């Protein structure tokens, strides 16, 4: 197999650390495709709940995964996602999905299937992909990996300002302690504590990190 030709910028970190905002802005600045891997775990969870399947029943979740069609694509420079032809939209961030997604994403077979989808994106575009295990498991060979953090208090306040019910502490604990690809700081990741930073500053830090690792970026 030939060596991958596209760049991958991996943005990992705990919930509400700013991954989506930073990745979106960064992708726009670089002209890369922004891919939110969390949205894939959320889409499956959304579908599982709609089907009346318990997120805590791994056998039933895996069986459900086998009968649905999760389509991950790209349209007009934007990553797209649908389940059996339906875009879950705001359903991805409902309180029920927030509560069930960590159980679903902890199932090894689920990760196997979705990680394969995530890797396909590099075949078609330069990407900024955000998640929990992008630098550690999905694209461990990319030199461009970042761990975006913020204190638990700051993250809880950020999510609260969005007015969405989300038990961050419980989700972070589950994501960090599960056996299958837990949230870890990849050993070669650049760690950025954003507790005291606004979005513009974080993006500048990431761009500086990319330049430091050899990517040509316009400042
Ligand atoms: O935006 P936020 O950080 O709140 O969550 P997200 O990135 O949308 O991810 C939702 C959930 O999906 C996480 O709590 C993890 O359980 C799971 N996830 C994962 O296991 N691996 C990833 N690469 C991305 C998300
Ligand atoms: O994707 P993730 O859950 O990690 O975080 P996000 O959805 O990008 O950000 C969560 C909230 O924090 C959003 O409302 C952002 O506008 C806000 N935010 C912030 O106040 N300061 C930052 N440096 C980054 C994000």
For the chain, give every domain's residue range. Answer: 8-211
Nearest-atom number in ligand 2 for the CA of 197 is 23
Give dist(CA 209, CA 61) in Å, integer. 39
Q: What is the pLDDT of residues 195-217, one digit of tens each?
A: 999 999 999 999 999 999 999 99
Task: For ligand 2, pick from 11, 12, 20, 21 the residue to mutate: most ligand atoms within 8 Å of CB.
Answer: 21
Give dist(CA 59, CA 8) in Å, integer. 33
Q: What is the pLDDT of residues 40-96, one digit of tens each?
A: 999 999 999 999 999 999 999 999 999 999 999 999 888 999 999 999 999 999 999
Full-prediction pTM beyond 0.85? Answer: yes
Q: Is the CB of 61 under 6 A from ligand 1?
A: no
Give dist(CA 129, CA 133) in Å, integer. 10
Q: Is the CB of 16 under 6 A from ligand 2?
A: yes
Q: What's the gap in Å between 21 CA and the centre of ligand 2?
A: 6
DSSP run (H or E) holding 32: none
Listed as own residue / partner, the contacts of 192-201 with beta carbons closer than 8 Å and 24 or more positions apart are 192/146, 192/147, 192/148, 192/149, 193/149, 193/150, 193/151, 194/17, 194/18, 194/22, 194/148, 194/149, 194/150, 194/154, 195/149, 195/150, 195/151, 195/154, 199/18, 199/21, 199/22, 199/25
Considering the domain delimited by 8-211, tell me its CATH architecture.
3-Layer(aba) Sandwich (3.40)
Give strand pairing partners of 10: 129, 145
């Amino acid at each position: 197999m030939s060596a991958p030709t596209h760049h991958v910028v991996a943005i990992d970190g705990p919930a509400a650390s700013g991954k989506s905002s930073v990745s979106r802005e960064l992708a726009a600045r670089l002209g890369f495709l922004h891919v939110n891997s969390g949205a894939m775990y959320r889409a499956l969870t959304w579908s599982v709940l709609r089907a009346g399947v318990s997120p805590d029943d791994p056998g039933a979740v895996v069986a459900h995964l086998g009968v649905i069609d999760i389509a991950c694509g790209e349209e007009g420079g934007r990553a797209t996602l649908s389940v059996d032809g339906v875009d879950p939209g705001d359903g991805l961030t409902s309180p029920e999905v927030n509560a069930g997604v960590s159980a679903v994403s902890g199932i090894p077979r689920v990760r196997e299937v979705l990680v394969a989808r995530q890797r396909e994106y590099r075949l078609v575009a330069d990407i900024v992909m955000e998640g929990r295990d992008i630098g550690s498991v999905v694209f461990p060979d990319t030199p461009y990996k970042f761990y975006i953090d913020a204190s638990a208090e700051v993250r809880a306040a950020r999510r609260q300002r969005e007015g969405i019910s989300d038990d961050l502490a419980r989700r972070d604990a589950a994501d960090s302690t599960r056996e299958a690809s837990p949230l870890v700081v990849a050993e070669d990741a650049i760690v950025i504590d954003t507790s005291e930073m606004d979005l513009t500053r974080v993006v500048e830090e990431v761009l500086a990190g990319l330049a430091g690792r050899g990517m040509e970026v316009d400042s």
